[in-house]
Structure 1
Amino acid sequence: MIAAMMTAANLGARLTGWGFVVFTIGSVCWVAIGLSSGQANLLASNAFLTLVNLVGIWRWLGRQATYEDGAETAKAKSHKASVPSLFTATGVAGMAVVDAKGKPLGRAVEALVECRSGTVSYVVVATGGVAGIREALRAVPREAVDFGCDKLALTLSPTAFEALPALDGGDWPAAAVPQPVTA
């Protein structure tokens, strides 16, 4: 159960990877029980699960952790160098979102990027609710978002933000409704 929570939470490569380590310990123990009790089905299914878990360890503690480390290193170096500061594109999801006065509004769920230009079209912002239940999602046009390294600041007034149409679960628009910037 602990391993399932660690992997389901998806709180980063290392926590997910350690969840697979816990899964592996469990599946190895079940392999031992299958061997000692002559239960071929238990042995076979947990031998396969051990293989799957080892792939999870390699994927999350090996490869993905290396990617996250590289991205974080580039981010940190950019803050100290005479180049524009960077943040990871995957870091947008979960970033705090504040209004123009710095008051917390919610969190970014996703940024939609135009294929041809590579520019952000809009950011989906979640407000209210608990653990995704009864939250409101809104598509905020790129021109109304100031990207910071640790948060996104909206240039919309709170009234203009609330006036944006709420998104319906998995039915997001092809483009956000342009809004006047009200800094």
Structure 2
Amino acid sequence: MEQAVQWIAPVTTSIAAVMVALNGGARLTGYGFIVFAIGSIAWSAYGWMTAQDNLLIQNLILLAINLLGIWRWLGRTARYEEGAEAASEEAETPMVSAAALAGLDAVDREGERIGSVVDAMIACDSGRMAYATVSVGGVGGVGEKLFAVPWRDLRISTDRVEVNSLASRLHRASGVEADHWPGSAGKDWDRPAAE
């Protein structure tokens, strides 16, 4: 039994860490916390079997934290996502939750996938979206370019955002710095760097 627990504990903890790190929405994150809870139980059992009180206590505390994560992501946040989905289904015109905007696929005007929406900036005085920050290219953030795409150059649907530019043009453009977004999106946001 001890040998089985010795394998279950690190495997479940590793799987859970990947699930939570993917940030794939309330359900995936919530299920990740369930897997984390299983890992905490296994680590607690191993700590008890091997008389490692510190391991036992630490993982009982982590179990309580994981239960809080399950409640937050599969209870509270999942209900909010369901509420937003219901609003979208009942609306006369298509709607998407502002929280769901980040993570939507971004396509160019020909429908080619170019990346995803990172976030959106909203002007406080008007309450209108100023621009969306769109990540283009790269893998896992490495090698990506960020663009501040003005609201006028976006078309938002429930499952994607269309950017009024072309993938080939964006790959030649310079974009914005990841740690310094502009105060507003310029007219030449997608101009190739050589022009």
1:109 maps to 2:118: yes
1:39 matched to 2:52: yes
How far 1:123 moved relative to its partner?
1.0
Deviation at 1:107, TM superposition (A): 2.0
Aligned-partner residue type, residue 31 of structure 2: W
Report the secondary structure of 1:139's partner residue: strand
Which residue of 2 is the match for residue 93 of structure 1?
102
1:98-117 CA-to-partner distances (Å, cap 9, x unmatched) read 33333333322211111232
The corresponding residue for 2:80 is 67
User: Letter of the aligned partner of 1:172 in structure 2?
Assistant: W
Identify the residue that residue 52 of structure 1 maps to in structure 2. Answer: 65
| Cα pair 1:24 1:50 within 8 Å, conserved | yes
Alpha-carbon shift at residue 165 of structure 1 (Å): 4.2
TM-score by length of 2: 0.80
TM-score where L is the length of structure 1: 0.84
Deviations 1:65-108 (A, max 9, x none): 11111111111222xxxx22211112212222233333333322
Contact 1:27 1:47 in 2 (8 A): yes
Equivalent position SS for 1:133: coil
Q: Is the 8 A contact 2:110 2:166 kept in 1?
A: no
Aligned twin of 2:139: 130
Deviation of residue 54 (structure 1)?
Answer: 0.8
Percent identical among aligned pairs is 41
Q: Residue 10 and residue 104 in structure 1: after superposition, are their counterparts in 2 closer, same or farther (change >3 A)?
A: closer
Name which of structure 1's ranges 133-142 and 108-117 shifts more when overlaid on structure 2.
Answer: 108-117
2:137–2:144 Cα contact (<8 Å) kept: yes
1 CA distance for matches of 2:88 and 2:34?
Answer: 29
Relative distance call for 1:157 and 1:45 in structure 2 (3 A) is: closer
Q: How many residues align?
A: 176
User: Are the aligned partners of 1:144 and 1:179 in contact in 2 as well (CA < 8 Å)?
Assistant: no
Query: Secondary structure of 2:43's match?
Result: helix
Are 2:47 and 2:53, in contact at CA under 8 Å, matched by a contact in 1? yes
Give the whole-Å Cα distance in 1 for the aligned partners of 2:182 and 2:68. 36
Structure 1 partner of 2:193: none
